[in-house]
Structure 1
């Protein structure tokens, strides 16, 4: 790709349902994003990634798409999207749409035709298998959302595969007509001005055609031999690159849940012409008990040594072989100050410290809506949560298998549930945080009265202004885009520190990611470095970092 604009960019993710509502129906909409473009321009971001806003039954909050070419009426219409693209471009902001190519909704016309018979145009658009002789499922694969990955369809008298909810049947990428149908959708939106794609679970599009049983005794996943990436994955993604991404110069970032850094090389090495970046999940598992049958609901305190090791590994292994996508929060990830920081005494400090660590790395930072004001997890009860993943896992792990108590499940949900990031955006202290004049589709975090965009702007400790400074540093200093990376103090359990270097210029990025003061003897070696950004207004002893204190230092 000739124009690699995304390398010096900061990308802002909007979850439209929870961003801003303009018609008082309680649901955020595309005109709401349009209305806040000047706010985003002021923040300094370069592009907006918009989570799915296509026609959908909303079983999985829009990741179950019924019609890829039609905007769901809850968000507006196609003209609203075209206007949003135009208005964003007028401000120098690019638009990235979300492509869910692994599965559709069971309400898609494709699926409704496919289930009708075994001999129509759409019959092989999905993965259908006959029952075993005893009538049971084709194999023992389990869904990501709990339960079996197979559902029997009475009309067709076969099982269909779904890696996620039963209302999300997986597409059959072995069928070239399916692939072309997806590429045509991408061309359609390119014709309306879309600049790039975030690709949902794109590494799952190829399936092991032998469909072997999974040896995992708990049948938690469809993963066989720890490989959920099918044998033709790279072939399919390369074909997509050649058909759409390369000729139309569209940016791409793929969700690659199981990928390690060496796997990612195969996906993002420019020579291979597949994707520009991938989102890894590896660094987001540092508060998960390894090997526990309860999976992500088995939480433990964040392991900073492991976080540093993982992020450094991605920095090192992708050097010269591709580009990193940098994130801590998104629509599937909880709020960092609540999950890994201290959202009570040190909310501002922990929000800005983690931001400093992330934005100082080599790669493209992604900011999730509300992250730029330090939004936190709500302390909901189980009955308040909406997420299909949470509900199905509660049913499986608490009620059926009883491998985790309801109390511990709730404790985990308050830390890591996807719904923590989906509470509506907190704009001001008016009713419903200024998000809507109607009844919000999802419960507000009660702290909107104190924590909101207006209050943050008026605060001496403004997370928004700190993000502005971080983003400006990336735009103005080539070292953050192209400089080398070296992790220091890898075994320190509290301090995250690394060195960036380019053409003799040296920057030190350092953060105390604990709520206890830390003395850092290493700083003696950097006495000739000057602070260019920090999240404390006053100076301290040069060797002491206060709780969640972060700094970027430059060699004089």
Structure 2
């Protein structure tokens, strides 16, 4: 098996992990200093959200230089030191690759918009206005409003599926593809272990630029982009070829025991998601627990999701699971802490590679962001269009600083952080949970250690019959996992006796016969005889 199949991946949002220079924003040196914490947690790889040079219109997802570090995060030397020390601790490092768009301040775009005859004009997507002078078609931005902005100097519109300051690259142009592959080689030569590829399913666009049809699911209050079905801006057939080209670059640098991995951000239904395996993406992010599971937290729904996914995978495909990230509300706020603990047991005992979001090991809730402290450009842009909706659409609540201890500013910084700390940081922090043997932090450590059992790493998945409110499944020949998704005690008939090795309550390890009693909000892992 490759290392990434055995690994637990931990996402670090650099702005919010650790500030070392007193500006209230996390940096690479802060991540380096906290590497021992990640090692003690038991994770195998860290994924760093963007730290590239950027105007920060979308906090690094608007890249102005793919091959340099923004001063707010440090220097290339800081990155090299972080990478070296991570490797010395046995930790792999994945960096975010943002190939769909650049910053409007990137030299490529500045040259592209200089004139219609620019050598880089075709590096981006330019179109003449519609007959009425408006945008070329009805495509909408993820951040609200049309996905087109008029450049008055040249009289054409350019495409941006996100902010106007994030123009989309033209992946049909082979020069663009080669430029991105050279970016990949730059970081691979420095020693990174792979990439999480941003919005991988959006790289291709319809060459005819057809209007997208209206969505029957749209209703007032939903984002602008929900007005349409995205037949022409998502998951285009040529995208698979682009993925194969990127995979070839990773393979150039791979060697036995040191494979370089591609993790793809892809928000698609499972039958379409799994096609990206054959295209060469090692781990097309499976967000089905986030998009379908957490909103319908019932055993029948979870079993359906897992069985559907497992049934779609070929023998060569390796599954993966996610419960949260920098774009999604916090796990503990969606389920409450008791069920967040149960969800953690689910994530770490399913077959496949789990990705964990920083701070969820503390059961961090969504942050409380006063209107005057909102930072997220998506929220601010949406606020201008729908003043009552921006706070619910913003992503600031899941990006608040990591609370390390009860000191002022939570040990994250010596000054007021860029976003407020969680209100209960004086009691909900790493230092406090380290001292509490039944804390969420200790549960996550135990689950990560438990996952190293061969049956939990490699064993097949089978749904196990259970009573209403209980989701149970077998892993390999030796494990049964039973999750009580209710606030009531439940009983479960076991196939044979065994031993409760781990409870989400962290208060029992005991032999059981053929009948198991689950307390409210309890998950258990049973080693069967």
TM over 0.5: yes
The residue number in structure 2 matching 1:254 is 264
SS in 1 for 2:364: coil
Does structure 2 conserve the Cα–Cα contact (< 8 Å) formed by 1:11 and 1:367?
Answer: yes
SS at match of 1:110: helix
CA distance in 2, matches of 1:371, 1:56: 27
Partner Cα distance (2:490, 2:465) in 1: 13
Deviations 1:435-464 (A, max 9, x none): 000221111111101100000011132222
Task: Give the aligned partner of residue 482 of structure 1.
Answer: 458
How far has the Cα of 1:247 moved from its partner? 4.4
Q: CA deviation at 1:302?
A: 4.8
Asked if 2 retains the 8 angstrom alpha-carbon contact of 1:305 and 1:490, the reply is no
Are the structure 2 counterparts of residues 226 and 321 from structure 1 closer, same or farther at C-alpha, using a change threshold of 3 Å? farther
CA distance in 1, matches of 2:315, 2:304: 19
Displacement of 1:213: 0.5
Contact 1:487 1:498 in 2 (8 A): yes
Q: In structure 2, what is the Cα distance between the partners aligned to 1:330 and 1:77?
A: 25
User: Could you say which residue in structure 1 is the equivalent of 2:480?
Assistant: 508
Corresponding residue for residue 207 of structure 2: 209
Which is worse superposed, 316-325 or 162-171?
Answer: 316-325
TM-score of the two chains, using structure 2 as the length reference: 0.92
Partner of 1:524: 493
2: distance between equivalents of 1:247 and 1:77?
Answer: 24
TM-score normalised by L of structure 1? 0.87
2:377 and 2:302 mapped to 1: Cα distance?
A: 28
User: Which position in structure 2 is the counterpart of 1:296?
Assistant: none
Q: Distance in 1 between matches of 2:503 and 2:27?
A: 36
Change in Cα spacing, 1:353 to 1:318, as seen in structure 2 (3 Å) is same
State whether structure 2 residue 329 is matched by structure 1 residue 334: yes
Which runs of 5 or more residues in structure 2 are unaligned?
A: 219-223
Q: Is the 8 A contact 1:333 1:420 kept in 2?
A: no
Alignment of 1:50-199 (within 5 A): 50-199=48-197
Query: Structure 1 unaligned runs (5+)?
Result: 289-299, 400-405
Give the conservation status (yes or no) of the 8 Å contact 2:137–2:209.
yes
Q: Which residue of 2 aligns with 1:268?
A: 277
SS of the residue corresponding to residue 55 of structure 2 reads coil
Q: Describe the shift of the 1:226–1:526 C-alpha distance in structure 2 as closer, same or farther (beyond 3 A).
A: farther
Q: How does 1:387-426 map to 2 (within 5 A)?
A: 387-396=376-385, 398-399=386-387, 406=388, 412=392, 417-426=394-403
Which residue number corresponds to residue 411 of structure 2?
A: 434
CA contact 2:379–2:390 (8 Å) conserved in 1: no
Question: Does residue 550 of structure 1 match 2:523?
Answer: yes
Q: Structure 1 stretch 4-13 or stretch 382-391: which is displaced more?
A: 382-391
What does residue 473 of structure 2 align with?
498
Tell me the distance in 2 between the aligned counterparts of 1:86 and 1:395. 44
Asked if 1:238 corresponds to 2:244, the answer is: yes
Matched-pair contact (CA < 8 Å) for 2:210–2:232? no
- Determine helix, strand or coil for the equivalent of 1:446: coil
**How many Å apart are 1:512 and its aligned residue?**
1.5
Q: Shift of the alpha carbon at 1:57? A: 1.2
Deviation of 1:392 after TM superposition, in Å, equals: 2.9
Distance verdict in 2 for CA 1:467–1:418, change over 3 Å: same
The answer as to whether partners of 1:47 and 1:94 remain within 8 angstroms in 2 is yes
Cα offset, 1:472, TM superposition:
1.4
Task: Answer whether contact 1:357 1:510 (CA < 8 A) is retained.
Answer: no
| Aligned counterparts of 1:550 and 1:6: Cα–Cα separation in 2 | 26
Of 316-325 and 186-195, more deviation after overlay is shown by 316-325
Name the CA shift for 1:227/1:510 in 2 (closer, same or farther; >3 Å). farther
| Cα-to-partner distance string for 1:492-549 (whole Å, 9 max, x where unaligned) | 4x32221112xxx2211111223x12323xx223451221111221489954322321
